[in-house]
């Protein structure tokens, strides 16, 4: 554990120096191809750095933060787009906005209508999710006697809870560091009433925002030259899901160090097809949406079933779920030992 923590420190020290170069050097180059060329070596480095980590959680989170978010944000920065423009006031803010899925919450005017999406997660909800996640880790001890579909459902719940809790923890640290409030990354995805609602307004909102700026909008603008605007929007949606699938393949590669099977890409392409079909139906047909309970159940069933079919198999075949569980228990044990040493 200590050796892996040292490797993690080295990776993020390299990342800090690289981001500092972009802040102090690349920002002085005029936007466009020249700034892009100055940033490309950093993007390549960020694709290599996660290879120095063997821990599933450290390599996975570093891939998300560096190989995906930082690279996309830096590519947008090359053309004065994205969260790094206008240039943040200091290197600390530039580093955080580049690498982490955060967005500063704007202060609402007194007369503004409250938007629940921008509200932070209540403390009791966070506590319940931590409790459920802790119980989940111990329930796995009885997985051999549980029905297969129950175990698969627990894996789906595990992925959601762990991703959200990690991002909430990172957001809390960054919020404290910057001295500002940030918007929540998730917006109760289990309450989604449609696939469009789930993927664009509830699930991993900061990643969705990056994909919208780096993929959806440029693709939509390009295809507007050849197709009607409503068709170009659908192409942009499909492109976003495709890129998301490819980036998840990259995360899987760093986690298991095996060639991709493209199952996870198929999962996101299928989600894209279903979401665009839903958009078309809403536009062209006059229909009364079903009750929220019915539509919400249908959305969660579709995402869960297709996830078990295409998203989970590669993880299960390579025992990633067991590694994730053992690493979580190891981290908890490591934290307990260090707290005991510090208190004594």
Q: Specify which residues 182 forms β-bridges with.
A: 104
The pLDDT tens digits for 181-202 are: 888 899 999 999 999 999 999 9
**pLDDT at res. 338:** 62
Burial pattern 21-32, b for ≥16 Cβ within 10 A else e, equals ebbeebbeeeee
**pLDDT at res. 105:** 77
What are the angstrom distances between the C-alpha of 12 and each of 18, 49, 63, 320? 10, 9, 12, 24
Q: Inform me whether the pLDDT recorded for 344 exceeds 60.
A: no
Q: Inform me whether the pLDDT recorded for 209 exceeds 70.
A: yes
**pLDDT at res. 89:** 87
Whether omega for the bond prior to residue 264 falls within 30 degrees of 0, making it cis, is no
What confidence category does residue 285 fall into, taking pLDDT thresholds of 50, 70 and 90? Answer: confident
**pLDDT at res. 69:** 95
The pLDDT tens digits for 12-71 are: 999 999 999 999 999 999 999 999 999 999 999 999 999 999 988 899 999 999 999 999
Q: How far is it, in rounded angstroms, from Cα 264 to Cα 270?
A: 10
Exposed, middle or buried, 165 (CB in 10 Å: 0-12/13-18/19+)? Answer: middle
Compute how many other C-beta atoms are within 10 angstroms of the C-beta atom of residue 48: 12
**pLDDT at res. 75:** 96
Of 71-80, 119-128, 215-224, 260-269, the least confident: 119-128
Determine phi and psi for 104, rounding to 5 degrees. -65, 130
């Amino acid at each position: 554990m200590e050796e892996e923590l040292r490797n993690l420190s080295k990776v993020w020290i390299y990342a800090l120096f690289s981001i500092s170069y972009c802040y102090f050097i690349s920002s002085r180059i005029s936007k466009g191809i020249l700034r892009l060329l100055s940033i490309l070596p950093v993007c390549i480095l960020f694709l290599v750095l996660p290879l120095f980590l063997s821990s599933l959680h450290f390599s996975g989170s570093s891939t998300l933060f560096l190989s995906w978010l930082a690279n996309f944000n830096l590519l947008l920065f090359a053309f004065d787009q994205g969260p790094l423009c206008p240039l943040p006031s200091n290197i600390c803010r530039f580093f955080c906005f580049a690498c982490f899925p955060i967005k500063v919450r704007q202060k609402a005017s007194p007369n503004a209508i409250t938007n629940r999406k921008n509200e932070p997660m209540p403390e009791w909800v966070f506590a319940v999710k931590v409790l459920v996640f802790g119980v989940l880790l111990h329930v796995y001890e009885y997985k051999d006697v549980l029905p297969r579909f129950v175990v698969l459902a627990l894996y789906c719940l595990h992925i959601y809870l762990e991703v959200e809790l990690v991002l909430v923890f990172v957001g809390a640290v960054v919020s404290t560091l910057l001295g500002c409030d940030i918007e929540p990354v998730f917006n109760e995805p289990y309450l989604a009433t449609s696939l469009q609602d789930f993927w664009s307004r509830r699930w991993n909102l900061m990643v969705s925002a990056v994909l919208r700026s780096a993929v959806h909008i440029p693709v939509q603008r390009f295809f507007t030259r050849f197709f009607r605007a409503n068709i170009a929007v659908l192409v942009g949606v499909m492109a976003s899901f495709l890129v998301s699938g490819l980036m998840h393949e990259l995360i899987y590669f760093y986690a298991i160090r095996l060639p991709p099977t493209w199952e996870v890409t198929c999962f996101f392409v299928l989600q894209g097809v279903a979401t665009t079909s839903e958009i078309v139906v809403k536009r062209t047909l006059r229909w009364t949406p079903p009750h929220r309970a019915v539509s919400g159940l249908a959305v969660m069933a579709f995402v869960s079933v297709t996830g078990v079919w295409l998203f989970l198999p590669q993880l299960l075949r390579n025992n990633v779920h067991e590694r994730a569980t053992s690493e979580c228990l190891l981290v908890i044990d490591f934290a307990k030992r260090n707290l005991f040493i510090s208190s004594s």
